[in-house]
Structure 1
Amino acid sequence: MKKGRTSIKDIANALNVSVTTISFVLNGKGKEKKISDAVIKKVIDYTESINYKPNRVAQSLRTGESKIIVFMVEDIGNYFFAKLARIIEDIAYKKDYKVLFCSNENDDARSRELIDLFYERRVDGFIIIPSGGIRNDIAQLIDKNIPVVLFDRYFEDLNTSAVVINNEDAAFKATNKLIAGAFKNIAFITTDAQQMQMRGRLEGYKRAIKEANLEPNVLQVPYLHLNSEKRKSLIREFFKNQEELDAVFFSTNYLTQHGLEIIRELEHLDVFKLGIVAFDDNDFFKIHSPSISAVAQPLKQMGEEIMKIMLKMLKEKNNRTPTKQIVLDARFIERESSRIKIPQD
């Protein structure tokens, strides 16, 4: 017969001490509870000798803590989210927390399913890039006093802690970099998602174009076209009708990669003469020829601010921590693609 998982009760019986004593020692509270050094050593030596692994679910039921944080983004495979995930994981690990990573694909139903799943598993907190329709789901977590930190975007009518960047200002400055390079017909390729970060990027572009007395030239790709081939088809058709185009500003790194691939297919567009800027940097942009200028979000600072808020909320979980919203500045990295000068008439 297969032997079952060793329980705290089994250890207590083997060592002839109370279950409570075992629990205090295993949770690092032996000294605090004035348990003798001899007993603490006996418990630790025994659990190590049998390679005891605590039942995390049972432990969370006893302590009210799972020591697990959920990190939910659109696509954990995306370069930006993956880099940020690693920063958060490293900070969490140092504080004895583990991080569960998941992708919601910016889909409300999937977001709700994941939130419900992890809530039932009694995770300690949620770090979420929210899809557009889960405002009430976030509100319910907050009402239950579950620590929640949103990032990249938040719901403007919901009092939540969040870490974001000034998207409008970043897009305004990046567009002006192209204008300063004497580019006149600057297209902006984005998605039709009406979330605050995408609205901000579009508004920043439009403001710079208006102040320069230029004409806006915008393609909004339907976000529901998750299939990359469909996205590329729409971008390809847009470019085919842009004989006078001299620069493109892409609102995301994945749109940039689609666009670069298509530009090289089309005879009337020359990647070495076209001004190009991407929102969100990527290592690929450094080695592309020409290298691609980009708006770089402060990943390290974002991760640190997110975890600073989360850890404070976890520490003060029994008292409702005041919400905190932090807005950070992005940085423009100038490379070859925005330095190209177009001769003026």
Structure 2
Amino acid sequence: MIIKQQLKKISIADIARELHVSKTTVSFILNGRAEEKRIGREVVERVQKFIEEVGYRPNPLAQSLRTGKSNIIALMVEDISNPFFASIARLIEDRAYKNGYKIIYCSTDNDPAKTRDLISMFRERHVDGYIIAPPEGIEDEISALMKAKMPVVLFDRHLNDVKTDLVEIDNMFSTYNATKHLTEQGFKKIAYVTFSSNQSQMLARLDGYNKALEESGYKPFVKEIAFNQNDDLIIGPITAFLKKNKNLDAVFFGTNHVGTCGLQVITDLGIQVPSDLAVVSFDDYNVFKMHSPPVTAISQPIEAIADNVITVLLNRLNTSSQHISSQSIVLKTDLHIRGSSLRAAQ
């Protein structure tokens, strides 16, 4: 009898030899196909009892090669610790698990080389599908996945030269609407502080800000900062910008990460909100609600984003839908107006 201490070495061949049955029979039983293959109940029970006694666990990679499915989904975002991505990831994970899939998360840091390496690793592990908030420069890799008939859903931003399933928000209208709110409150010198990026969502947000100011006849004040996870490398440029432009009466932060760093700068410089400087940020966040005064922010529909992303992917995974045209879902945001942007709050 094979003892439990040999757990790591045991194979289907070992089980078959020990029980005097064929490897094929053991494989069918392990893969839940015993009834289909008309394997006797007595044999099934002997195999099941034996594998329970020895603690046998099938090799996931070998199993995926046999069945063609790993029941694993890769979720790739720029920073899994970011509250926006973390919230979406949690919702996707819950829904995926209820449908028999597990999620592997990773952060790309908006680095195309790192993203390529991660995609290569996931392909070697035979994941069933991909959910990606893509950095620039991975068009070829996404196209290769699609040619291999791997389901891919992009979200938060798109790649212009790749046509696949997509879930995103109306970024341009979101910043246009928030900037118009500031102009309607009487603010005229409105700055836009954001990460420097050619990603589709970031360009659309900048376009919305510029469009609203152009309609009002006001001059834009744009400060773009190199993307970095290190807060000090974000705080420094914001500090220099606000010190240089003391005549500003409002500032619009293009992401929640830039926004939280910006609030720290505003506090450190002793700037009063909104009497000295009105504040609006993209991506609502608990920190904004707890700030004094609470910060006006654009709220993305996180539950709707997550629900649409996993629904589209599960449909691709569970049906023969390769012939179906890709979907492009655009969701609306909400502008939560709070004291940081109201003249009346002075």
> Does the alignment reach a TM-score above 0.5?
yes
Aligned to 2:119, the other structure's residue is in SS state helix
Selected match of 1:161 from 157, 160, 165: 165
Residue 271 of structure 1 corresponds to which residue in structure 2? 273
Residue 194 of structure 2 corresponds to which residue in structure 1? 190
Q: Is the 8 A contact 2:284 2:298 kept in 1?
A: yes
Task: Give the deviation of 1:231 after TM superposition.
Answer: 2.0
Q: 1:240 to 1:10 in 2, by over 3 A?
A: same
Aligned to 2:211, the other structure's residue is in SS state helix
> In 2, Cα distance between the equivalents of 1:302 and 1:154?
14
> In 2, Cα distance between the equivalents of 1:159 and 1:172?
26
> In 1, Cα distance between the equivalents of 2:76 and 2:193?
26
Q: 1:245 to 1:20 in 2, by over 3 A?
A: same
Task: Give the deviation of 1:10 after TM superposition.
Answer: 3.0
Q: Deviations over 1:147-199 (max 9, x none)?
A: 11111111122211111111001111111222232222211111220111001
Which residue identity is paired with 1:325?
S
Residue 108 of structure 1 corresponds to which residue in structure 2? 112
Task: Give the deviation of 1:14 after TM superposition.
Answer: 4.0
Residue ranges of structure 2 left out of the alignment (5+ in a row): none
Task: Give the deviation of 1:41 after TM superposition.
Answer: 4.6
Greater shift in the superposed pair: 225-234 or 306-315: 225-234
Which residue identity is paired with 2:272?
D
- Please tell me whether residue 69 in structure 1 is matched to residue 70 in structure 2: no
Length, aligned pairs only:
341
Task: Give the deviation of 1:54 after TM superposition.
Answer: 1.8
Q: 1:324 to 1:318 in 2, by over 3 A?
A: closer
Aligned to 2:51, the other structure's residue is in SS state helix
Q: 1:22 to 1:193 in 2, by over 3 A?
A: same
5 Å-filtered alignment, 1:314-333, equals: 314-316=317-319, 319-333=322-336
Q: Deviations over 1:192-238 (max 9, x none)?
A: 20111001101111111122222212111133x55432221111111
Residue 149 of structure 1 corresponds to which residue in structure 2? 153
Q: 1:188 to 1:315 in 2, by over 3 A?
A: same
Task: Give the deviation of 1:257 after TM superposition.
Answer: 0.8
Q: Deviations over 1:74-99 (max 9, x none)?
A: 11111111111111111111111111
> In 2, Cα distance between the equivalents of 1:24 and 1:285?
56
TM-score normalised by the chain length of structure 1:
0.91
Task: Give the deviation of 1:70 after TM superposition.
Answer: 0.8
Greater shift in the superposed pair: 115-124 or 29-38: 29-38
Percent identical among aligned pairs is 42
Residue 295 of structure 1 corresponds to which residue in structure 2? 298
Greater shift in the superposed pair: 24-33 or 113-122: 24-33
Residue 235 of structure 2 corresponds to which residue in structure 1? 232
Greater shift in the superposed pair: 97-106 or 3-12: 3-12
Greater shift in the superposed pair: 82-91 or 179-188: 179-188
Q: Is the 8 A contact 2:315 2:321 kept in 1?
A: no
Q: 1:15 to 1:259 in 2, by over 3 A?
A: same
Aligned to 1:102, the other structure's residue is in SS state strand
- Please tell me whether residue 91 in structure 1 is matched to residue 102 in structure 2: no
Task: Give the deviation of 1:114 after TM superposition.
Answer: 0.8
Aligned to 1:113, the other structure's residue is in SS state helix
Residue 342 of structure 2 corresponds to which residue in structure 1? 339
> In 1, Cα distance between the equivalents of 2:245 and 2:224?
15
Q: Is the 8 A contact 1:183 1:341 kept in 2?
A: no
Q: 1:295 to 1:39 in 2, by over 3 A?
A: farther
Which residue identity is paired with 2:51?
T
> In 2, Cα distance between the equivalents of 1:283 and 1:42?
56
Q: Deviations over 1:91-147 (max 9, x none)?
A: 111111111111111011111111111111211111111111111111111111111
Q: Is the 8 A contact 2:260 2:287 kept in 1?
A: no
> In 1, Cα distance between the equivalents of 2:123 and 2:154?
16
Task: Give the deviation of 1:261 after TM superposition.
Answer: 0.4
Aligned to 1:105, the other structure's residue is in SS state coil
Q: Is the 8 A contact 2:96 2:103 kept in 1?
A: yes
Q: Is the 8 A contact 1:188 1:218 kept in 2?
A: yes
Selected match of 2:309 from 289, 299, 306: 306
Residue 249 of structure 1 corresponds to which residue in structure 2? 252
Q: 1:260 to 1:13 in 2, by over 3 A?
A: same
- Please tell me whether residue 79 in structure 1 is matched to residue 68 in structure 2: no
Q: Is the 8 A contact 1:279 1:296 kept in 2?
A: yes
Task: Give the deviation of 1:34 after TM superposition.
Answer: 4.5
Which residue identity is paired with 2:174?
A
- Please tell me whether residue 220 in structure 1 is matched to residue 224 in structure 2: yes
